[in-house]
């Protein structure tokens, strides 16, 4: 019911004005999850459009988390996250396979790299469950699953229990069928 009238009507008809005056309103929080978007490409390093879009979203005021699980860099990791546009947090693994020649990687180095990626994944899980970000991008998460660094079941469970009102964007070269079925949108990038 919509009641619009002049002031004379409001002062003379208190029943319309006083509806629900003594009733307590109980609000219930509804968990809303954004979409799961998957970007697939036949080769690594083809996701510059996603990085561009994350910068644009951050500049427009959305809080964005961009995580490159399989890429490393100088002084990267959770403790050295880069902040761009005031709203974009960009994190790379503290240690990655891309930093070394494959023939020089030994067991200790491989364990160190895997632990660095697992530490970053644990951070991502916390953020997916917190609802703090408007958009979370997990770049090359499917490569980490393919290499058995991140468990497929752990990723599925985290995505099913996430609380984020924005979108979760997942990228990779080969996407397991379970994730294709979960996705709201699948984009294949071609060269």
DSSP for the chain reads: ------HHHHHH-HHHHTTTSSPPP----------EEEEEESSTT--HHHHHHHHHHHHTT--EEEEEEEEE-TT-SGGG-EEETTTEEEEEESS-GGGS-GGG--HHHHHHHHHHHHHHHHHHHHHHHHT--SEEEEETHHHHHHTTSS-HHHHHHHHHT---SSEEEEEESS--HHHHHH-SEEEEE--
The answer to whether residue 103 sits within a structural domain is yes
Would the pTM of this model clear 0.75, i.e. be above it?
yes
The answer to whether residue 5 sits within a structural domain is no
The answer to whether residue 177 sits within a structural domain is yes
The answer to whether residue 21 sits within a structural domain is no
Question: In terms of pLDDT, which residue wins out, 103 or 181?
Answer: 181
CATH code of residue 156: 3.40.50.300
Q: What is the structure's pLDDT at 9? A: 42
Tokens of 141: 């998460």
The answer to whether residue 40 sits within a structural domain is yes
The answer to whether residue 51 sits within a structural domain is yes
How many CB atoms are located within 10 Å of the residue 17 CB? 13
Domain containing 97 equals 33-189
pLDDT at 60 over 80: yes
Number of domains in the chain: 1
The answer to whether residue 124 sits within a structural domain is yes
Q: What is the structure's pLDDT at 43? A: 72
Question: In terms of pLDDT, which residue wins out, 30 or 63?
Answer: 63
The answer to whether residue 135 sits within a structural domain is yes
Q: What is the structure's pLDDT at 23? A: 56
Q: What is the pLDDT of residues 7-44, one digit of tens each?
A: 444 444 444 444 455 556 554 444 556 899 999 887 77
């Amino acid at each position: 019911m919509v009641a619009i009238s002049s002031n004379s009507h409001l002062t003379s008809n208190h029943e319309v004005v006083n509806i629900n005056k003594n009733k307590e309103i109980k609000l219930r929080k509804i968990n809303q999850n954004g979409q799961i978007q998957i970007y697939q490409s036949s080769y690594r390093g083809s996701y510059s459009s996603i990085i561009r879009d994350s910068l644009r979203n951050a500049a427009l005021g959305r809080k964005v988390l961009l995580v490159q699980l399989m890429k490393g860099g100088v002084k990267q990791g959770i403790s050295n996250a880069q902040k761009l546009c005031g709203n974009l947090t960009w994190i790379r693994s503290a240690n990655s396979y891309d930093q070394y020649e494959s023939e020089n990687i030994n067991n200790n180095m491989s364990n160190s790299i895997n632990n660095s990626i697992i530490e970053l994944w644990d951070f991502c899980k916390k953020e997916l469950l917190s609802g703090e970000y408007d958009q979370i991008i997990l770049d090359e998460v499917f490569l980490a699953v393919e290499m058995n660094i991140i468990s497929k079941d752990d990723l599925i469970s985290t995505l099913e229990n996430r609380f984020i009102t924005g979108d979760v964007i997942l990228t990779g070269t080969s996407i397991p069928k379970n994730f294709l079925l979960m996705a709201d949108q699948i984009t294949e990038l071609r060269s």
